């Protein structure tokens, strides 16, 4: 019986893997043509029959159509890492001749005492090129984008899951290299190689690199304190995989994406308690996870089946700090429900503060609170709103607190001192700040105080055309300003063809997603994780130095963080700021 049960579990796991890897994006695909002209002079300097290999700058998006300047490229990669930290770089392959069946092989990293970092902790992936655009005339990324209105080009971003591919002539092909250092790795200097193989019989190129493992240890992501809130879209996944919403196949398809989200320390589950809270601003409309039914006698019934399945699914994957429920104040103020008497779905439009609005929400919140308490989730659930006017927020807060004064509320938007005390999880727009004493009070009472970027900010940001270092810079900015973390509204709100074209009709390219179908990570997502790790390293060192009353080291930490202001990016690149600061951080 035990053996039979074991094979049932194996079969289920295999089925999940097959579903997760299925679809047109599970295999190789063609990139769109690059609309930019080729610099033919760059290829004239490349030997006709020679293939070139080199490590490269992790903060540069190298052009596919042009050969890199070899004189500017490093011949070796050296990195410093804490135990438990993931570090990365990129290498380049460029050739004037077509190459067949190019693949990478990694060898274990080893120190002089025989200790190893196994190949299972080392990964490579071809960087794939996606179409992008640019900022608008105002310097931001918001507003309708007519085809051809903005500058477009190919940029390297997606990290492919295909381990072998052909490279056309006159092409630069970047490769992403990651080393995930186990927490039990002895400190020391570890050396290794990446083999680049072309075809079956050629002699592979050997690229040496080195990772110095330091004495410090980074805790597991589940124990990181950084309050990461990347909003999830289950509906984009069901579209891309062609599966029914909330079916077993849907959950199987979602699993790899949400597992990887948990691995970067995600703290919040995005839940929708009404239909279309954001007025169809994405390719896939967010449906409601709570079914509202107005019965024939005028009373209300609420079905939480989908909500419960989704929340439990995410909690089982390790994301269990907060459930953010959107939204009592949708952007179009439409509230959908099933009318039993009419036998159809319908909606009302109701503004906060009206009797109709109160009558619609008070019974639901009363029932919802009862349900959450029965599930044991009330204490981690927040009624969530984003970018809503303060007056509307005050009206909604009055109803919420009248139902249950212990109901938590979260908000992303402008900073309003008048309602701050009632907002448990308060995320303010980049460039704004909490009052110093308010931030201290909130931290003392475990009330997350974070910041966000969206299409508004030209920089720092995580568009597909943004400098990659800006994603890392966000973590340093949080540490410098005393924020608890960061929010980004779209983890996986995919456009129509996200693997080829990251542009969208209303936002700058890449604004709607950080990862790609087929579970492909991206430069932006990996660099975002890097910044979170740095935030945690700074936090751990600060706690250590505080406990030891080491004022000199605390002052050195503060000095290191000086300058991580958004205004500083106007004159200094995120990459240059990070280069100096990260070197200092690894010397503590």
Predicted pLDDT at 466: 98
Output DSSP code: residue 247. Answer: S
Instruction: Identify the three-state secondary structure at position 87.
Output: strand
Higher pLDDT, 48 or 109: 109
pLDDT band at 75 (very low <50, low <70, confident <90, very high): confident
Q: Encode burial over 155-172: b for 16+ CB neighbours within 10 A, e otherwise.
A: bbbbbbbeeeeebeebbb
Assign 3-class secondary structure to 448-468: CEEEEECCCCCCCCCCCCCCC
* Superfamily, domain 224-534: Glycosidases (3.20.20.80)
What is the pLDDT at residue 147? 80
Q: Mean pLDDT throughout 222-235?
A: 98
Q: What is the mean pLDDT of residues 406-419?
A: 97
Give one DSSP letter per residue of 556-567, joined into a string: HHHHHHTT--GG
How does DSSP assign 351-420, residue by residue? -TTSHHHHHHHHHHHHHHHHHHHHHT-GGGEEEEEES--HHHHHHHHHHHHHH-TT-EEEEEES--TTTG
Q: What percent of the chain has pLDDT over 90?
A: 91
- pLDDT of res. 47: 76
Report the chain's mean pLDDT, rounded to a whole number: 94
pLDDT for 495: 98
What is the arithmetic mean of pLDDT over 296-300? 97
Question: What per-residue confidence (pLDDT) applies to 24?
Answer: 52
**305-316 and 248-262 helices cross at what angle (nearest 10)?**
40
Nearest-angstrom CA–CA distance, 483 and 567: 17
Q: What pLDDT does 49 receive?
A: 77
- Please provide the size of the chain in residues: 588
Domain limits of the chain? 38-216, 224-534
Q: Supply the pLDDT for residue 570.
A: 95
- Amino acid 201: pLDDT: 76
Short-list 380, 389, 403, CA closest to 324: 380
Whether residue 245 has pLDDT greater than 90: yes
pLDDT of amino acid 23: 56
DSSP-assigned letter for residue 327: -
**pLDDT digit string, tens, across residues 15-64:** 444 444 455 567 899 999 999 999 999 999 887 778 999 999 999 999 99
Supply the pLDDT for residue 149. Answer: 87
Whether pLDDT at 10 is above 70: no
> pLDDT class for 219, splitting at 50, 70, 90?
very high
pLDDT tens sequence across 154-210: 999 999 999 999 999 999 999 999 999 999 999 999 999 999 999 987 889 999 999
- CB of 311 within 8 A of CB of 371? no
What is the CATH code of the structural domain delimited by 38-216? 2.60.40.10
First to last CA, the chain: 55
CA neighbours closer than 13 Å in the CB half-sphere of residue 170: 12
């Amino acid at each position: 019986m035990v053996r039979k049960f074991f094979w049932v579990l194996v079969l289920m796991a295999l089925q999940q893997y097959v579903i997760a890897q299925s679809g047109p994006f599970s295999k190789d695909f063609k990139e769109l043509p690059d609309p930019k002209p080729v610099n033919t002079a760059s290829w004239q300097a490349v030997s006709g029959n020679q293939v070139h290999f080199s490590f490269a700058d992790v903060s540069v998006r190298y052009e596919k159509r042009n050969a890199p300047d070899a004189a500017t490229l490093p011949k070796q990669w050296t990195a410093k890492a804490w135990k438990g930290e993931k570090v990365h770089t990129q290498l380049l392959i460029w050739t004037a001749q077509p190459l067949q069946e190019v693949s990478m092989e990694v060898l274990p990293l080893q120190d002089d005492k025989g200790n190893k970092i196994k190949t299972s902790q080392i990964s490579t992936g071809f960087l794939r090129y996606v179409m992008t655009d640019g900022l608008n005339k105002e310097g931001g990324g918001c507003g309708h984008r007519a085809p051809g209105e903005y500058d477009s080009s190919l940029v390297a971003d997606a990290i492919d899951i295909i381990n072998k591919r052909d490279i056309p002539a006159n092409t630069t092909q970047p490769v992403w290299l990651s080393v995930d250092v186990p927490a039990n790795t002895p400190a020391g200097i570890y050396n290794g190689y990446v083999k680049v193989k072309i075809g079956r019989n050629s002699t592979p190129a050997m690229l040496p690199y080195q990772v110095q493992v330091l004495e410090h240890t980074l805790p597991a992501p589940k124990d990181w304190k950084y309050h990461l809130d990347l909003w999830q879209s289950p509906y984009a996944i069901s579209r891309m995989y062609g599966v029914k919403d909330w079916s077993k196949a849907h959950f199987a398809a979602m699993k790899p994406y949400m597992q990887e989200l948990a691995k970067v320390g995600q703290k919040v589950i995005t839940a929708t308690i009404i239909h279309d809270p954001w007025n169809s601003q994405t390719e896939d409309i967010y449906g409601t996870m709570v079914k509202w039914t107005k019965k024939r006698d005028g009373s209300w019934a609420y079905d939480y089946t989908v909500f419960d399945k989704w929340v439990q699914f995410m909690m089982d994957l390790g994301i269990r700090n907060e459930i953010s429920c959107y939204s009592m104040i949708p952007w179009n103020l439409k509230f959908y429900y099933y009318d039993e008497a009419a036998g159809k779905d319908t909606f009302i439009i109701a503004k906060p503060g009206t009797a109709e609005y109160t009558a619609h929400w008070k019974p639901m919140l009363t029932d919802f609170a009862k349900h959450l308490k029965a599930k044991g989730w009330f204490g981690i659930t927040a009624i969530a709103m984003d970018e809503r006017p303060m007056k509307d927020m005050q009206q909604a807060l009055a109803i919420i607190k009248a139902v249950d004064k212990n109901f938590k509320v979260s908000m992303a938007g402008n900073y309003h001192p008048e309602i701050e005390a009632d907002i448990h999880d308060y995320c303010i727009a980049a460039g704004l700040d909490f009052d110093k004493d308010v931030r201290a009070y909130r931290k003392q009472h475990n009330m997350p105080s974070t910041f966000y970027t969206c299409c508004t900010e030209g920089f720092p940001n995580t568009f597909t055309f943004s400098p990659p270092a800006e994603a890392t810079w966000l973590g340093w900015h949080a540490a410098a300003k005393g924020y608890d973390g960061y929010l980004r509204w779209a983890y996986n709100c995919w456009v129509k063809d996200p693997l080829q074209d990251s542009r969208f009709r209303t936002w700058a390219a890449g604004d709607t997603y950080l990862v790609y179908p087929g579970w492909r990570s991206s430069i932006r997502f990996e660099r975002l994780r890097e910044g979170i790790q740095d935030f945690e390293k700074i936090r751990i060192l600060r706690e250590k130095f505080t406990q030891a009353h080491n004022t000199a080291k605390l002052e050195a930490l503060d000095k290191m963080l000086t300058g991580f202001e958004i205004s500083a990016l106007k004159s200094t690149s995120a990459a240059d700021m990070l280069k100096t600061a990260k070197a200092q951080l690894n010397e503590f």
